[in-house]
Chain A
Amino acid sequence: MVQYSLPLVPGPDKVRWNASVNGVNVDFFIDSNAILLDVLRDQSGSLGTKRGCDMGTCGCCSVMINGTPKLSCLVLAQEVRDCEITTVEGLSSGHHLHPIQQTFADCGGSQCGFCTPGFLVVSAALLEKNPSPSEAEIKTAIEGNLCRCTGYQQIVESISKASEILVSGRRVGNSTSSKSDPHPGFSGSE
């Protein structure tokens, strides 16, 4: 088989790009016309950022750019050079989920889960700015995100539950902590 080297079809120039993706400084060459979503998925390995439509209509590709949620399929990667980008992978701290992640799991905010990264990023950004949003504020925040499974109701619930946790200052437990003992003692009165 013949191996070819890039570029084959006359393509855009390669430019150097750096940014902080989920707290890590990345530095690589990208196509000068590359879309942020493609860079994140194909080059920085953030496959959690989903592509639902590629034209700004579904919200699955939402990421935070310097704290503001943006549709990464509509952002030219070059525009966000040196910015701080947070994707869904950057929400949890180690194995402690972000409250919004925990409540999405607990309250049915995620069914098939494909829209979930987008919703999480958008609502995490909302809660950052406004830790106890009203229902109307929540709805406004997620109006650009489509979900075909949940009918949004449990998503809105998840977000308000998360805000309760955030306000209370509690932290979500570590998901790697020990699980049920298959050989428990028996306590009849507990």
Chain B
Amino acid sequence: MSDNDRSIKSKEASERDVTSESGEMVGYRQQPGKLPFSKPGSGGRNRFSKPTDYSRIPESQGGSLKQPWGPHRHDDLVSGQVIGKPTSLVDSNWKVTGQAKYGDDIRLQGEVIGRILRSPHHYARVLSIDISKALELPGVLGVATGEDAPGKFGVLPVTKDEHAMAVEKVRHVGDLVACVAAIDEPTAREACRLIEVEYEVLDSIHDIKQGLEDSENPIHDRGKYHIGDSNVQKRVFQQFGNISDMKDSSLASHESNWTFTGVNHGFTEPHAVVAHWDPSGRLTLYTPQQVPHYLHRALADVLDIPMHQINVYRTFVGGGFGGKSDPFPHEMCAAILARKTGRPVRINFDREEVFWVNRGRHPSKISMSLHADSEGRLCGIETDALIDGGAFASFGHVTTYYNGVLHTAPYEIGAFHYTGARVWTNKPASGAMRGHGAVNSRCAVETGIDDLAEQLGVDPIDFRLANLLPPHSATITGFRVTSIGMRECLERVKEESGWDEKFRKMPLGKGIGIGCGFFISGSGLPIHWDPNKFPHATVHLKIDMDGGVTVHTGAADIGQGSDTVVAQSVAEVLGLPLDMIRVRSKESDTSPVDLGSYSSRVTFMNANAAISAAMEIRNELLEATSEITGSKIEGLVIGDRRIFDKRDPAVGVSYLEALHKAQEDKGALVSSGSYRTPPMGRAHKGAAAGLAPAYSFSAYVAEVDVDVETGQTKVTKVWAAHDCGKALNPLAVEGQIIGSCHMGLGQVLSEEMKYGRTGHLLNPDLLDYKIPTVHEMPDVTPIIVESNDPEGPFGAKEAGEGPLLPILPAVVNAVYDAIGVRVSELPITPDRLYKAIERRCKSEGIGEPSDMAPPRLEFTSLQETLQRRSIDHSKRDKERRLTDSPSPYHNGALFGLDPEIPGDEQDSRWAAVVIPPDGYLEDPGLAGSAWKHTERRYRGDVE
């Protein structure tokens, strides 16, 4: 039915409207513009509902929205309200008026100021702490040390290794030693100065390689689980497929050794926390947190009180990016001090302290070998990643896996071999940062592929297009990948950037490069497994007689717009304007448990939970309507604040009428919806790391200008395509894409945490830690690709982290295209790049950098093979994504395996190996050498 028919029909319907002689409404037929009566609670501005927006209703539901990616399970819930429309954040008015309260804006009556005494040593034993002088200082209300809270905590239950304050040892400069509460900041600072601490300085380690060796004083002691006497916190060995066979059959190989420096999240709001024990003896902790629930658990452990005695209040969060996703020691300190002093305690960080907390991206050494065979297939990936965890575990357990497993897609690969190790060093801890664990190794893979394509004489985009996994497939490690928009991403950026006219064709100093990304959308397993059957996300709805909907969710809005997306989902299902939805997401007292804002899980899981909660209410409204109008429930649809009969739209009731009918016997409607991931994945050790209910894909093309005389790189233009499944709020998705570009650009061009010769952090401030300003930002063209994920809410996947990955390799590849120099160390600062230019000039005997020849490309015959294959695959992919239940496709089919059976079940050479086989240690990779140690429990020397 076309739009035209529809409007004629509805006109007819309204003309047929039955009014009795007296002009009274009969039954529930309404005349346009005439209200039979007004309802209590009514009286809003917008008196007429909008006609249903058919251009937003999918074809399968009688609308006119094209569905090139097939129907979706939430299609019948689409009411054309807000999903897919650019929507400003529901809390933006708070932010733009300065009314939004961030951590340091919480001011309670009688508050005192907390300050933290930090370690001046990299590594030392704390022999004694004398707080008597500090306590004597007038104005000091309390001092706490490690003794006050000896309990350990950490974000991952398997690696709890943090204390509120030093117990026994300090492990990096800036580590917490003691804390003070005083009536004002100068007094608190002075009191910190008066605390006398006696240290025994220990030999510290700063070099990441040194962490692999045995040490007299390992930074932590994990008892029987300790790996030898080393500082190795976690090691991973994974082998799928037969790498040496694949190597033998390869036509081209790429090898590189990367050094990535650490980068910090650089959020604008420094950490701050306010703790308050109320008169009934409960603690309220106000803090900008991404994971209020994990903090809730940690607080209960450390303070030794039950969780229900604590209310975690998430304030507005001034940027998180992973940097506020651990339970932090300073949060414990505030709670301890507030308990001691009987006053609310506020701790606010200096920017320098933010760098001491860190949890930024791991400095890493990654060696990458890639192999391609004569058919232009990616027949082998070998990765060895040694990552520097700093002084604590944080998320590191997971990061160690992510550095490997997150590059087993989007390409179909012949064999995969990964060794990874994370070591402790005496630096501020590394942790999760946007693109967690995937960013550095993805950069290495994508630049490697660029090199392979060059060696093979083919276009790198065509090489990628001919090697993609199809929709509904399993990766070599057994990840279930459902929707894949990679091909569309590549095609769109290729077209929009004018790739074919530019690549390898531009003059010296001008270059263009491609990079791709693949990222999880929510993690398959929650971090806390204990009550295994708990859902990952829960949303509660409450509607009382006023008709407004209160949404309770624990999802932490950190600026990404999760409140908005949850509100949108509810509004869409119930057919309400967004202004009728209010989201309460801040307090653990009122909000259901949510695991937090990490792993790009929030939109995916919370919107799913919100949809199921709203569906319950929707059913009640439909039932009530059917009772009033006598129409069948199946025939009813929800439009803008009105529920009506599909066949005769004039028969219907307003939202409020239906609501009041539904409330007749029970008062407010309440409902609860939740989301849990489906069972997924294989059984080998570590199989759960990287499992996600959906994966996002992205492809970027970047154009750069390189000044060969100075080594200065400027990124001028970026085309950024990201497959987010379905853009629930395109405005926010574009914001995430551009923001990711900005952050990635910082890492590739200017940001680095610099450590001096003695191991000191040289740039713990925003002047020397160089975040790109508006002038460094290129013009970014965000391109949204919507692959309609079957599991996602309305088809959506993540858009917050994945878009960061491709910008690094795109820029690195563009630099090569511009000047023929491959860098293997980030950031590409002018001094580094100029040295590389000099090296090239020297080795090729070029006198002046301006005489260098930019690389050029001659296609070989392989190019045609690849193009043909990519056309075939494109057809295959289209068919697969549109069939209802496509046959299984396991990685390996391109190499002749039966696609329906996982490789390891049909051929033992494809079996997963997770412990190094004999002989491996004769010539291990750098991180692989972590396996030379034996875990203490197997060594038999520890209980």
Q: A residues touching B (Cβ–Cβ < 8 Å)? A: 1, 4, 6, 8-9, 11, 46-55, 57-58, 60, 87-89, 91-92, 97, 101-102, 104-108, 110-117, 120, 139, 142-156, 175, 177-190
The CA of A120 and the CA of B771, in the complex, are separated in Å by 20
Q: Could you tell me if B50 and A190 are in contact, using CB atoms closer than 8 angstroms?
A: yes
Q: Does B765 contact A (CB under 8 A)?
A: yes
Give the residue of B41, B98, B265 whose beta carbon is less than 8 angstroms from that of A148. B265
The CA of A178 and the CA of B46, in the complex, are separated in Å by 8
Q: Could you tell me if A57 and B766 are in contact, using CB atoms closer than 8 angstroms?
A: yes
Q: Could you tell me if B96 and A108 are in contact, using CB atoms closer than 8 angstroms?
A: no
A140 to chain B, nearest CB (A): 9
Known: A113-B318, A181-B47, A190-B32. A108 touches B97 (CB 8 A): no
A149 to chain B, nearest CB (A): 5
Q: Could you tell me if A177 and B45 are in contact, using CB atoms closer than 8 angstroms?
A: yes
Q: Could you tell me if B97 and A181 are in contact, using CB atoms closer than 8 angstroms?
A: no
Q: Could you tell me if A182 and B41 are in contact, using CB atoms closer than 8 angstroms?
A: yes
Q: Could you tell me if B775 and A8 are in contact, using CB atoms closer than 8 angstroms?
A: no
Q: Could you tell me if B96 and A104 are in contact, using CB atoms closer than 8 angstroms?
A: yes
Q: Could you tell me if A188 and B92 are in contact, using CB atoms closer than 8 angstroms?
A: no
The CA of A181 and the CA of B38, in the complex, are separated in Å by 11
The CA of A149 and the CA of B557, in the complex, are separated in Å by 13
Known: A52-B270, A60-B268. A146 touches B773 (CB 8 A): yes
Q: Could you tell me if B318 and A114 are in contact, using CB atoms closer than 8 angstroms?
A: yes
B716 to chain A, nearest CB (A): 14
Known: A114-B102, A148-B321, A190-B51. A52 touches B269 (CB 8 A): yes
Among B709-739, those with CB < 8 Å from A are 731-732, 734-735, 738-739
Q: Could you tell me if B318 and A183 are in contact, using CB atoms closer than 8 angstroms?
A: no
Give the residue of B38, B107, B184 whose beta carbon is less than 8 angstroms from that of A47. B107
The CA of A182 and the CA of B39, in the complex, are separated in Å by 9
Mark B263-278 against chain A: 1 for CB-CB distance below 8 A, else 0. 0011111100000000
Chain A residues with CB below 8 A from B655, complex form: 182-183
Among B133-162, those with CB < 8 Å from A are 137-139, 141
Q: Does B686 contact A (CB under 8 A)?
A: no
Give the residue of A47, A97, A142, A184 whose beta carbon is less than 8 angstroms from that of B642. A184
Q: Could you tell me if B268 and A115 are in contact, using CB atoms closer than 8 angstroms?
A: yes
Q: For residue A152, which residue of chain B has the nearest CB?
A: B774
The CA of A65 and the CA of B429, in the complex, are separated in Å by 41
Q: Could you tell me if A9 and B139 are in contact, using CB atoms closer than 8 angstroms?
A: yes
Known: A149-B735, A151-B742. A108 touches B780 (CB 8 A): no
Chain A residues with CB below 8 A from B104, complex form: 51
The CA of A143 and the CA of B771, in the complex, are separated in Å by 12
B485 to chain A, nearest CB (A): 22
Q: Could you tell me if B732 and A108 are in contact, using CB atoms closer than 8 angstroms?
A: yes
Q: Could you tell me if A183 and B342 are in contact, using CB atoms closer than 8 angstroms?
A: no
A24 to chain B, nearest CB (A): 15
Mark B757-774 against chain A: 1 for CB-CB distance below 8 A, else 0. 000000001110001011
Q: Could you tell me if A8 and B138 are in contact, using CB atoms closer than 8 angstroms?
A: yes
Q: Could you tell me if A111 and B97 are in contact, using CB atoms closer than 8 angstroms?
A: no
Q: Could you tell me if A97 and B190 are in contact, using CB atoms closer than 8 angstroms?
A: no
With A101-B93, A184-B48 given, can you name 10 additional A-B contacts, CB distance below 8 Å? A1-B342, A4-B138, A8-B137, A54-B350, A54-B351, A57-B767, A149-B739, A181-B45, A182-B655, A184-B46
Selected A-B contacts with CB under 8 Å, 9 pairs = A50-B318, A89-B97, A97-B96, A105-B93, A114-B316, A153-B779, A183-B41, A183-B657, A185-B35
Chain B residues with CB below 8 A from A146, complex form: 266, 268, 766, 771, 773
B111 to chain A, nearest CB (A): 11
Chain A residues with CB below 8 A from B561, complex form: 111
Known: A48-B97, A108-B731, A181-B641. A186 touches B652 (CB 8 A): yes
A132 to chain B, nearest CB (A): 19
Q: Could you tell me if A52 and B774 are in contact, using CB atoms closer than 8 angstroms?
A: no
Q: Does B877 contact A (CB under 8 A)?
A: no
Q: Could you tell me if B95 and A110 are in contact, using CB atoms closer than 8 angstroms?
A: yes
Known: A4-B138, A50-B268, A181-B641. A186 touches B49 (CB 8 A): yes
Chain A residues with CB below 8 A from B351, complex form: 52-55, 57
Mark B567-585 against chain A: 1 for CB-CB distance below 8 A, else 0. 0000000001101100000
Known: A143-B773, A152-B742. A47 touches B268 (CB 8 A): no
Q: Does B300 contact A (CB under 8 A)?
A: no
Q: Could you tell me if A50 and B269 are in contact, using CB atoms closer than 8 angstroms?
A: yes
Give the residue of A53, A87, A92, A184 whose beta carbon is less than 8 angstroms from that of B654. A184
Chain A residues with CB below 8 A from B100, complex form: 113
Q: In the complex, identify which listed stretch (B9-17, B218-226, B791-799) lies at the interface while the others stay far away.
A: B9-17
Q: Could you tell me if A112 and B88 are in contact, using CB atoms closer than 8 angstroms?
A: no
Q: Could you tell me if B30 and A47 are in contact, using CB atoms closer than 8 angstroms?
A: no
Q: Could you tell me if B318 and A190 are in contact, using CB atoms closer than 8 angstroms?
A: no
Chain B residues with CB below 8 A from A189, complex form: 7, 10-11, 14, 32, 51
B337 to chain A, nearest CB (A): 14
Q: For residue A117, which residue of chain B has the nearest CB?
A: B98
Q: Could you tell me if A105 and B766 are in contact, using CB atoms closer than 8 angstroms?
A: no
Q: Could you tell me if A182 and B88 are in contact, using CB atoms closer than 8 angstroms?
A: no
Known: A151-B777, A183-B655. A116 touches B95 (CB 8 A): yes
Mark B634-668 against chain A: 1 for CB-CB distance below 8 A, else 0. 00000011101000011010111101000000000
Q: Could you tell me if A50 and B102 are in contact, using CB atoms closer than 8 angstroms?
A: yes
Q: Could you tell me if A58 and B766 are in contact, using CB atoms closer than 8 angstroms?
A: yes
The CA of A180 and the CA of B187, in the complex, are separated in Å by 52
Among the interface residues A47, A92, A187, which one has the most CB atoms of the partner chain B within 10 A?
A187
The CA of A88 and the CA of B98, in the complex, are separated in Å by 6
Q: For residue A109, which residue of chain B has the nearest CB?
A: B96
Q: For residue A136, which residue of chain B has the nearest CB?
A: B775
Chain A residues with CB below 8 A from B88, complex form: 105-108
Chain B residues with CB below 8 A from A49, complex form: 98
Chain A residues with CB below 8 A from B740, complex form: 151
The CA of A106 and the CA of B732, in the complex, are separated in Å by 11
Give the residue of A6, A88, A110 whose beta carbon is less than 8 angstroms from that of B92. A110
Known: A48-B98, A53-B766. A112 touches B141 (CB 8 A): no
Chain A residues with CB below 8 A from B34, complex form: 185
Q: Could you tell me if B654 and A186 are in contact, using CB atoms closer than 8 angstroms?
A: yes
Q: Could you tell me if B49 and A187 are in contact, using CB atoms closer than 8 angstroms?
A: yes
Q: For residue B745, which residue of chain A has the nearest CB?
A: A151
The CA of A70 and the CA of B484, in the complex, are separated in Å by 48
Chain A residues with CB below 8 A from B254, complex form: none
A82 to chain B, nearest CB (A): 23
B930 to chain A, nearest CB (A): 34
Q: Does B888 contact A (CB under 8 A)?
A: no
Q: Could you tell me if A150 and B735 are in contact, using CB atoms closer than 8 angstroms?
A: yes
Q: Does B105 contact A (CB under 8 A)?
A: yes
- For the complex of A and B, the 9 pairs showing the least CB-CB separation, nearest first, are A48-B98, A112-B559, A114-B318, A113-B95, A181-B44, A182-B547, A151-B742, A8-B139, A105-B92
Q: For residue B351, which residue of chain A has the nearest CB?
A: A53
Q: Does B101 contact A (CB under 8 A)?
A: yes
Q: Does B435 contact A (CB under 8 A)?
A: no
Q: For residue B652, which residue of chain A has the nearest CB?
A: A186
The CA of A182 and the CA of B45, in the complex, are separated in Å by 10
Among the interface residues A6, A102, A106, which one has the most CB atoms of the partner chain B within 10 A?
A106
The CA of A186 and the CA of B649, in the complex, are separated in Å by 10
A117 to chain B, nearest CB (A): 5
Q: Could you tell me if A8 and B42 are in contact, using CB atoms closer than 8 angstroms?
A: no
The CA of A116 and the CA of B269, in the complex, are separated in Å by 11
Q: For residue B316, which residue of chain A has the nearest CB?
A: A113
Chain A residues with CB below 8 A from B266, complex form: 146, 148
A9 to chain B, nearest CB (A): 5
Q: Could you tell me if A53 and B105 are in contact, using CB atoms closer than 8 angstroms?
A: no
Among the interface residues A48, A51, A186, which one has the most CB atoms of the partner chain B within 10 A?
A186
The CA of A186 and the CA of B39, in the complex, are separated in Å by 14
Among the interface residues A8, A49, A190, which one has the most CB atoms of the partner chain B within 10 A?
A8
The CA of A178 and the CA of B266, in the complex, are separated in Å by 40
Q: Does B560 contact A (CB under 8 A)?
A: yes
Q: For residue A103, which residue of chain B has the nearest CB?
A: B96
Give the residue of A102, A113, A154, A177 whose beta carbon is less than 8 angstroms from that of B738. A154
Q: Does B743 contact A (CB under 8 A)?
A: yes
Q: Does B688 contact A (CB under 8 A)?
A: no
